[in-house]
Amino acid sequence: MKHKIEWDTPMPAIEIYTQPGCPYCVRAVQLLRSKNVAFQEINAPRGTPERQQAYDRSGGSTTVPQVFVGEKALGGCDDLMALERQGKLDAALGLA
């Protein structure tokens, strides 16, 4: 059975830039999945336009993953985990 969730206000787009073989990317994606939020995973290996886009949007971070909610950069895996430990991740993702 599928459930349709309707929101009073539109949810901001959640995007995560990753690269194959990155354990931090896997952890960040797993955390987002555990929150049952829709997100777009963007493959961004070194030297690709997608990686440059992640760099530009993040203000110069050269690592992946990089997570964005709308145009707001949340940071990487450690940043997501810290927000989760502090009980602030749901609000940052637009869930609270």
- Per-residue pLDDT of 6-55, as tens digits, reads 445 455 699 999 999 999 999 999 999 999 999 999 999 999 999 999 99
Q: How far apart are alpha carbons 30 and 53 in whole angstroms?
A: 23
pTM: 0.86
Structure confidence by residue, pLDDT tens digits, 54-85 = 999 999 999 999 999 999 999 999 999 999 99
* Reported confidence tier of residue 5, pLDDT bands at 50, 70, 90: very low
Domains and CATH numbers, the chain: 14-92 (3.40.30.10)
Q: How far apart are alpha carbons 58 and 38 in whole angstroms?
A: 20
Pairing of strands 66-69, 14-18: antiparallel
Q: How far apart are alpha carbons 37 and 7 in whole angstroms?
A: 13
